[in-house]
Protein backbone atom coordinates (compact mmCIF):
# COMPACT_ATOMS: atom_id res chain seq x y z
CA UNK A 1 0.00 0.00 0.00
CA UNK A 2 1.43 3.42 -0.95
CA UNK A 3 2.13 6.03 1.70
CA UNK A 4 -0.35 8.36 -0.01
CA UNK A 5 -3.13 5.79 0.19
CA UNK A 6 -2.36 4.99 3.80
CA UNK A 7 -2.51 8.69 4.65
CA UNK A 8 -5.84 9.09 2.90
CA UNK A 9 -7.33 6.11 4.65
CA UNK A 10 -6.49 7.30 8.14
CA UNK A 11 -6.98 11.06 7.66
CA UNK A 12 -10.02 12.01 9.77
CA UNK A 13 -9.09 15.65 10.35
CA UNK A 14 -11.72 17.00 7.94
CA UNK A 15 -14.54 14.69 8.99
CA UNK A 16 -15.77 16.28 12.20
CA UNK A 17 -18.92 18.36 12.61
CA UNK A 18 -21.89 18.90 10.34
CA UNK A 19 -19.72 20.25 7.56
CA UNK A 20 -17.90 16.92 7.35
CA UNK A 21 -21.04 14.83 6.80
CA UNK A 22 -20.77 14.68 3.01
CA UNK A 23 -17.05 14.01 3.22
CA UNK A 24 -17.60 11.15 5.68
CA UNK A 25 -20.13 9.52 3.37
CA UNK A 26 -17.87 9.98 0.36
CA UNK A 27 -14.86 8.55 2.15
CA UNK A 28 -16.80 5.54 3.48
CA UNK A 29 -18.00 4.70 -0.03
CA UNK A 30 -14.51 5.26 -1.45
CA UNK A 31 -12.73 3.05 1.08
CA UNK A 32 -15.35 0.28 0.80
CA UNK A 33 -15.16 0.28 -3.00
CA UNK A 34 -11.37 0.34 -2.97
CA UNK A 35 -11.16 -2.57 -0.59
CA UNK A 36 -13.73 -4.62 -2.56
CA UNK A 37 -11.60 -4.16 -5.67
CA UNK A 38 -8.29 -5.03 -4.04
CA UNK A 39 -9.16 -7.41 -1.19
CA UNK A 40 -7.66 -10.51 -2.83
CA UNK A 41 -4.32 -8.74 -3.15
CA UNK A 42 -4.19 -7.15 0.29
CA UNK A 43 -1.86 -8.46 2.97
CA UNK A 44 -3.23 -9.23 6.43
CA UNK A 45 -1.73 -5.98 7.68
CA UNK A 46 -3.49 -3.99 4.96
CA UNK A 47 -6.81 -5.73 5.72
CA UNK A 48 -6.39 -4.69 9.35
CA UNK A 49 -5.82 -1.07 8.29
CA UNK A 50 -8.97 -1.09 6.18
CA UNK A 51 -10.83 -2.69 9.07
CA UNK A 52 -9.86 -0.02 11.57
CA UNK A 53 -10.75 2.79 9.16
CA UNK A 54 -14.05 1.31 7.98
CA UNK A 55 -15.09 0.44 11.53
CA UNK A 56 -14.63 4.07 12.53
CA UNK A 57 -16.35 5.38 9.40
CA UNK A 58 -19.49 3.22 9.63
CA UNK A 59 -20.12 4.66 13.08
CA UNK A 60 -19.99 8.17 11.58
CA UNK A 61 -22.32 7.81 8.58
CA UNK A 62 -26.03 7.42 7.90
CA UNK A 63 -27.80 4.09 7.32
CA UNK A 64 -27.86 4.56 3.55
CA UNK A 65 -24.08 4.74 3.45
CA UNK A 66 -23.67 1.83 5.85
CA UNK A 67 -25.89 -0.21 3.51
CA UNK A 68 -23.57 0.66 0.63
CA UNK A 69 -20.56 -0.51 2.63
CA UNK A 70 -22.43 -3.71 3.58
CA UNK A 71 -23.23 -4.41 -0.08
CA UNK A 72 -19.56 -4.02 -0.98
CA UNK A 73 -18.41 -6.30 1.84
CA UNK A 74 -21.09 -9.00 1.57
CA UNK A 75 -19.62 -11.14 -1.21
CA UNK A 76 -15.93 -10.97 -0.30
CA UNK A 77 -14.11 -14.17 0.60
CA UNK A 78 -11.89 -12.27 3.03
CA UNK A 79 -12.65 -8.94 4.58
CA UNK A 80 -12.45 -6.58 7.54
CA UNK A 81 -13.92 -8.87 10.17
CA UNK A 82 -14.76 -6.32 12.85
CA UNK A 83 -16.49 -4.06 10.33
CA UNK A 84 -18.48 -6.94 8.88
CA UNK A 85 -19.57 -8.05 12.37
CA UNK A 86 -20.57 -4.47 13.16
CA UNK A 87 -22.67 -4.22 9.96
CA UNK A 88 -24.28 -7.61 10.55
CA UNK A 89 -25.48 -6.41 13.94
CA UNK A 90 -26.94 -3.19 12.48
CA UNK A 91 -30.58 -2.51 11.58
CA UNK A 92 -31.86 -4.98 9.00
CA UNK A 93 -31.75 -2.39 6.21
CA UNK A 94 -27.98 -2.36 6.66
CA UNK A 95 -27.35 -5.91 7.88
CA UNK A 96 -29.32 -7.84 5.26
CA UNK A 97 -26.65 -8.34 2.56
CA UNK A 98 -24.07 -9.35 5.15
CA UNK A 99 -26.43 -11.82 6.81
CA UNK A 100 -27.46 -13.27 3.47
CA UNK A 101 -24.06 -13.78 1.88
CA UNK A 102 -20.97 -13.04 3.94
CA UNK A 103 -18.72 -16.05 4.49
CA UNK A 104 -16.53 -13.95 6.77
CA UNK A 105 -19.11 -14.17 9.55
CA UNK A 106 -18.55 -17.10 11.88
CA UNK A 107 -21.28 -19.36 13.18
CA UNK A 108 -20.89 -17.82 16.61
CA UNK A 109 -21.59 -14.36 15.14
CA UNK A 110 -24.74 -15.57 13.38
CA UNK A 111 -25.99 -17.42 16.45
CA UNK A 112 -25.54 -14.33 18.62
CA UNK A 113 -27.39 -12.13 16.11
CA UNK A 114 -30.19 -14.68 15.66
CA UNK A 115 -30.66 -14.84 19.43
CA UNK A 116 -30.85 -11.12 20.12
CA UNK A 117 -32.02 -9.35 16.95
CA UNK A 118 -35.32 -9.23 15.07
CA UNK A 119 -37.20 -11.80 13.03
CA UNK A 120 -36.10 -9.85 9.96
CA UNK A 121 -32.49 -10.64 10.88
CA UNK A 122 -33.38 -14.29 11.46
CA UNK A 123 -35.22 -14.43 8.11
CA UNK A 124 -32.12 -13.16 6.31
CA UNK A 125 -29.89 -15.66 8.09
CA UNK A 126 -32.31 -18.47 7.23
CA UNK A 127 -31.65 -17.83 3.53
CA UNK A 128 -27.89 -18.52 3.73
CA UNK A 129 -26.60 -21.34 1.55
CA UNK A 130 -25.37 -23.37 4.53
CA UNK A 131 -26.82 -23.38 8.05
CA UNK A 132 -25.29 -25.45 10.84
CA UNK A 133 -27.41 -27.53 13.16
CA UNK A 134 -26.73 -25.21 16.10
CA UNK A 135 -27.75 -22.20 14.04
CA UNK A 136 -30.97 -23.78 12.77
CA UNK A 137 -31.83 -24.73 16.34
CA UNK A 138 -31.79 -21.08 17.41
CA UNK A 139 -33.67 -19.97 14.27
CA UNK A 140 -36.42 -22.52 14.83
CA UNK A 141 -36.60 -21.82 18.55
CA UNK A 142 -36.80 -18.02 18.28
CA UNK A 143 -38.09 -17.35 14.77
CA UNK A 144 -41.62 -16.60 13.62
CA UNK A 145 -43.49 -18.69 11.06
CA UNK A 146 -41.79 -16.92 8.11
CA UNK A 147 -38.39 -17.83 9.50
CA UNK A 148 -39.45 -21.43 10.13
CA UNK A 149 -40.80 -21.78 6.60
CA UNK A 150 -37.54 -20.45 5.19
CA UNK A 151 -35.45 -22.83 7.31
CA UNK A 152 -37.63 -25.79 6.34
CA UNK A 153 -37.28 -24.91 2.66
CA UNK A 154 -33.49 -24.42 2.80
CA UNK A 155 -31.74 -27.54 1.48
CA UNK A 156 -28.47 -26.32 2.99
CA UNK A 157 -29.89 -26.20 6.53
CA UNK A 158 -28.80 -29.02 8.83
CA UNK A 159 -31.72 -29.85 11.11
CA UNK A 160 -31.46 -31.56 14.47
CA UNK A 161 -34.16 -33.98 15.54
CA UNK A 162 -35.48 -31.37 17.98
CA UNK A 163 -35.78 -28.76 15.21
CA UNK A 164 -37.50 -31.16 12.82
CA UNK A 165 -40.04 -32.18 15.43
CA UNK A 166 -40.67 -28.53 16.38
CA UNK A 167 -41.25 -27.66 12.72
CA UNK A 168 -43.59 -30.62 12.25
CA UNK A 169 -45.53 -29.52 15.32
CA UNK A 170 -45.93 -26.01 13.89
CA UNK A 171 -46.81 -27.52 10.50
CA UNK A 172 -50.00 -28.96 11.96
CA UNK A 173 -51.59 -25.55 11.41
CA UNK A 174 -49.51 -24.29 8.49
CA UNK A 175 -49.85 -25.88 5.04
CA UNK A 176 -46.90 -23.95 3.59
CA UNK A 177 -44.60 -25.30 6.28
CA UNK A 178 -45.94 -28.82 5.67
CA UNK A 179 -45.11 -28.54 1.99
CA UNK A 180 -41.61 -27.18 2.65
CA UNK A 181 -40.87 -30.03 5.06
CA UNK A 182 -42.27 -32.65 2.72
CA UNK A 183 -39.83 -31.52 0.02
CA UNK A 184 -36.74 -31.99 2.19
CA UNK A 185 -34.38 -34.81 1.27
CA UNK A 186 -32.99 -35.41 4.77
CA UNK A 187 -36.04 -36.39 6.81
CA UNK A 188 -35.78 -39.67 8.68
CA UNK A 189 -38.54 -42.22 8.27
CA UNK A 190 -40.00 -41.34 11.68
CA UNK A 191 -40.13 -37.67 10.68
CA UNK A 192 -41.94 -38.48 7.45
CA UNK A 193 -44.50 -40.53 9.35
CA UNK A 194 -45.02 -37.65 11.79
CA UNK A 195 -45.41 -35.21 8.93
CA UNK A 196 -48.04 -37.37 7.26
CA UNK A 197 -49.87 -37.56 10.58
CA UNK A 198 -50.21 -33.77 10.83
CA UNK A 199 -51.21 -33.41 7.18
CA UNK A 200 -54.48 -35.08 8.07
CA UNK A 201 -58.14 -34.85 7.21
CA UNK A 202 -58.74 -33.14 10.55
CA UNK A 203 -56.30 -30.37 9.69
CA UNK A 204 -57.79 -30.09 6.20
CA UNK A 205 -61.27 -29.68 7.63
CA UNK A 206 -60.11 -26.96 10.02
CA UNK A 207 -58.57 -25.04 7.13
CA UNK A 208 -61.73 -25.45 5.04
CA UNK A 209 -63.88 -24.30 7.95
CA UNK A 210 -61.79 -21.16 8.17
CA UNK A 211 -62.45 -20.48 4.50
CA UNK A 212 -58.84 -21.13 3.48
CA UNK A 213 -59.54 -23.43 0.55
CA UNK A 214 -56.20 -22.77 -1.14
CA UNK A 215 -54.31 -23.82 1.96
CA UNK A 216 -56.55 -26.85 2.37
CA UNK A 217 -55.51 -27.99 -1.10
CA UNK A 218 -51.84 -27.48 -0.22
CA UNK A 219 -52.25 -29.69 2.85
CA UNK A 220 -53.34 -32.51 0.59
CA UNK A 221 -50.44 -31.83 -1.78
CA UNK A 222 -48.00 -31.88 1.14
CA UNK A 223 -49.34 -35.23 2.30
CA UNK A 224 -48.97 -36.67 -1.19
CA UNK A 225 -45.38 -35.47 -1.51
CA UNK A 226 -44.53 -36.85 1.92
CA UNK A 227 -46.04 -40.22 1.02
CA UNK A 228 -44.04 -40.29 -2.19
CA UNK A 229 -40.88 -39.87 -0.19
CA UNK A 230 -41.62 -43.13 1.56
CA UNK A 231 -41.37 -45.08 -1.70
CA UNK A 232 -38.13 -46.79 -2.67
CA UNK A 233 -38.13 -45.31 -6.15
CA UNK A 234 -38.07 -41.74 -4.86
CA UNK A 235 -34.73 -42.37 -3.16
CA UNK A 236 -33.22 -44.59 -5.83
CA UNK A 237 -33.95 -42.13 -8.64
CA UNK A 238 -31.20 -39.87 -7.29
CA UNK A 239 -28.39 -42.27 -8.13
CA UNK A 240 -26.68 -43.33 -11.34
CA UNK A 241 -26.39 -47.08 -10.81
CA UNK A 242 -25.56 -47.89 -14.43
CA UNK A 243 -22.39 -45.79 -14.41
CA UNK A 244 -21.44 -47.17 -11.00
CA UNK A 245 -21.92 -50.74 -12.26
CA UNK A 246 -19.62 -50.07 -15.22
CA UNK A 247 -16.92 -48.71 -12.90
CA UNK A 248 -17.14 -51.73 -10.61
CA UNK A 249 -16.87 -54.14 -13.53
CA UNK A 250 -13.63 -52.42 -14.58
CA UNK A 251 -12.29 -52.62 -11.02
CA UNK A 252 -13.31 -56.28 -10.79
CA UNK A 253 -11.25 -57.08 -13.88
CA UNK A 254 -8.24 -55.73 -11.99
CA UNK A 255 -9.07 -57.75 -8.91
CA UNK A 256 -9.91 -54.63 -6.90
CA UNK A 257 -13.49 -55.40 -5.83
CA UNK A 258 -13.51 -56.68 -2.26
CA UNK A 259 -14.86 -55.83 1.18
CA UNK A 260 -12.16 -53.20 1.73
CA UNK A 261 -13.25 -51.40 -1.44
CA UNK A 262 -16.84 -51.62 -0.23
CA UNK A 263 -15.94 -49.94 3.05
CA UNK A 264 -13.95 -47.26 1.23
CA UNK A 265 -16.95 -46.40 -0.95
CA UNK A 266 -19.12 -46.36 2.19
CA UNK A 267 -16.74 -43.98 3.97
CA UNK A 268 -17.09 -41.61 0.99
CA UNK A 269 -20.90 -42.05 0.96
CA UNK A 270 -20.78 -43.18 -2.68
CA UNK A 271 -24.03 -45.08 -2.48
CA UNK A 272 -24.28 -46.12 -6.13
CA UNK A 273 -20.77 -47.63 -6.01
CA UNK A 274 -21.60 -49.33 -2.69
CA UNK A 275 -24.66 -50.96 -4.23
CA UNK A 276 -22.77 -52.07 -7.33
CA UNK A 277 -19.88 -53.45 -5.24
CA UNK A 278 -22.16 -55.29 -2.83
CA UNK A 279 -24.11 -56.72 -5.76
CA UNK A 280 -20.89 -58.00 -7.36
CA UNK A 281 -19.70 -59.58 -4.12
CA UNK A 282 -22.99 -61.38 -3.39
CA UNK A 283 -23.59 -62.26 -7.07
CA UNK A 284 -26.92 -60.44 -7.34
CA UNK A 285 -28.30 -57.83 -9.70
CA UNK A 286 -27.70 -54.15 -8.98
CA UNK A 287 -31.40 -53.34 -9.18
CA UNK A 288 -32.30 -56.02 -6.67
CA UNK A 289 -29.60 -54.96 -4.23
CA UNK A 290 -30.52 -51.28 -4.57
CA UNK A 291 -34.03 -52.07 -3.33
CA UNK A 292 -32.69 -54.09 -0.41
CA UNK A 293 -30.47 -51.15 0.60
CA UNK A 294 -33.17 -48.49 0.53
CA UNK A 295 -36.16 -50.09 2.22
CA UNK A 296 -37.09 -49.04 5.78
CA UNK A 297 -36.70 -52.67 6.91
CA UNK A 298 -33.05 -53.71 6.39
CA UNK A 299 -33.54 -57.36 7.44
CA UNK A 300 -33.07 -58.89 3.94
CA UNK A 301 -29.81 -56.97 3.53
CA UNK A 302 -28.63 -58.08 6.98
CA UNK A 303 -29.38 -61.73 6.20
CA UNK A 304 -27.54 -61.54 2.89
CA UNK A 305 -24.53 -59.81 4.47
CA UNK A 306 -24.31 -62.48 7.17
CA UNK A 307 -24.68 -65.31 4.66
CA UNK A 308 -21.76 -63.99 2.61
CA UNK A 309 -19.52 -63.44 5.61
CA UNK A 310 -19.30 -59.65 5.76
CA UNK A 311 -17.89 -58.13 8.95
CA UNK A 312 -19.97 -56.20 11.46
CA UNK A 313 -17.84 -53.11 10.76
CA UNK A 314 -18.82 -53.21 7.10
CA UNK A 315 -22.50 -53.82 7.82
CA UNK A 316 -22.59 -50.98 10.36
CA UNK A 317 -21.04 -48.57 7.87
CA UNK A 318 -23.50 -49.53 5.12
CA UNK A 319 -26.49 -48.98 7.41
CA UNK A 320 -25.45 -45.33 7.82
CA UNK A 321 -25.03 -44.15 4.22
CA UNK A 322 -27.20 -43.19 1.26
CA UNK A 323 -30.97 -43.32 1.84
CA UNK A 324 -30.49 -45.26 5.06
CA UNK A 325 -28.75 -42.23 6.55
CA UNK A 326 -32.19 -40.58 6.46
CA UNK A 327 -34.65 -43.46 6.48
CA UNK A 328 -33.34 -45.46 9.43
CA UNK A 329 -33.64 -44.28 13.00
CA UNK A 330 -30.79 -45.00 15.44
CA UNK A 331 -33.04 -47.65 16.98
CA UNK A 332 -33.59 -49.33 13.61
CA UNK A 333 -29.84 -49.44 12.99
CA UNK A 334 -29.25 -50.89 16.44
CA UNK A 335 -31.90 -53.56 15.88
CA UNK A 336 -30.38 -54.46 12.51
CA UNK A 337 -26.90 -54.81 14.04
CA UNK A 338 -28.27 -56.93 16.88
CA UNK A 339 -29.92 -59.22 14.32
CA UNK A 340 -26.65 -59.48 12.40
CA UNK A 341 -24.68 -60.35 15.54
CA UNK A 342 -27.22 -62.95 16.77
CA UNK A 343 -27.63 -64.75 13.47
CA UNK A 344 -25.26 -67.52 12.42
CA UNK A 345 -24.01 -67.86 8.87
CA UNK A 346 -25.83 -71.21 8.57
CA UNK A 347 -29.11 -69.64 9.71
CA UNK A 348 -28.71 -66.79 7.22
CA UNK A 349 -28.11 -69.26 4.39
CA UNK A 350 -31.22 -71.21 5.37
CA UNK A 351 -33.29 -68.04 5.22
CA UNK A 352 -31.86 -67.25 1.79
CA UNK A 353 -32.95 -70.62 0.49
CA UNK A 354 -36.60 -69.59 0.93
CA UNK A 355 -36.31 -66.37 -1.07
CA UNK A 356 -36.37 -67.63 -4.63
CA UNK A 357 -40.07 -66.96 -5.14
CA UNK A 358 -40.42 -63.98 -2.81
CA UNK A 359 -40.40 -60.40 -4.00
CA UNK A 360 -38.35 -58.45 -1.47
CA UNK A 361 -39.04 -54.92 -2.66
This prediction has a pTM of: 0.65
Domain count, the chain: 2
Structural domain includes residue 195: yes
pLDDT of the chain, 361 residues: tens digit per residue: 444 344 345 455 555 655 567 888 888 999 999 999 998 888 888 999 999 999 999 988 999 999 999 999 999 988 899 999 999 999 999 999 999 999 899 999 999 999 999 999 999 999 998 899 999 999 999 999 999 999 999 988 999 999 999 999 999 888 889 888 888 878 887 887 788 777 766 555 665 566 555 666 666 666 666 666 667 777 788 788 999 999 999 999 999 999 999 999 999 889 999 999 999 999 999 998 998 898 888 999 999 999 999 999 999 999 999 888 878 888 899 999 999 999 999 999 988 876 654 444 4
Residue 296 makes CB contacts below 8 A (sequence gap 6+) with 189, 230, 327, 328, 332
Q: Are residues 259 and 169 in the same domain?
A: no
Element holding 153 (H helix, E strand): none
Does one domain contain both 214 and 311?
A: no
Q: Judge if 184 and 221 occupy the same domain.
A: yes
Cα-based angle 60, 64, 69 (whole degrees, multiple of 5): 70
Are residues 281 and 210 part of one domain? no
Q: Determine the 3-state secondary structure of 293 from DSSP.
A: coil
Q: 293 and 264 in one domain?
A: yes
Determine the structural domain holding residue 289 and report its residue range.
241-352
Q: Do both 268 and 194 map to the same domain?
A: no
Boundary (domain end) residue, out of 230, 250, 281:
230
> Are residues 252 and 203 part of one domain?
no
As a whole-number percent, the residues of the chain with pLDDT over 90 amount to 54
What's the length of the chain?
A: 361
- pLDDT, residue 4, reads 38
pLDDT in tens, 321-345: 988 887 888 889 999 999 999 999 9
Instruction: Label residue 240 exposed, middle or buried (CB < 10 Å: 0-12, 13-18, 19+).
Output: exposed
| Within a domain: 70 | no
Amino acid sequence: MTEALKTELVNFSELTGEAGSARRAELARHVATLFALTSDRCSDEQVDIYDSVLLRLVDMVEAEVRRYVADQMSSLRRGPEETIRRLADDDIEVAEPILLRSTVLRDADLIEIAAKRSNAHRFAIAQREVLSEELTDILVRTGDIKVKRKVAGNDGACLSNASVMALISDAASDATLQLSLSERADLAQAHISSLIAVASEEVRQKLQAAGREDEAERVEEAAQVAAQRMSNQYWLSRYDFETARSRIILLAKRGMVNEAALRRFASEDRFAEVVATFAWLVRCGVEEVSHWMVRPDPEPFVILAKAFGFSSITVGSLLSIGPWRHRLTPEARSDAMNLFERMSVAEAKRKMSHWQNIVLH
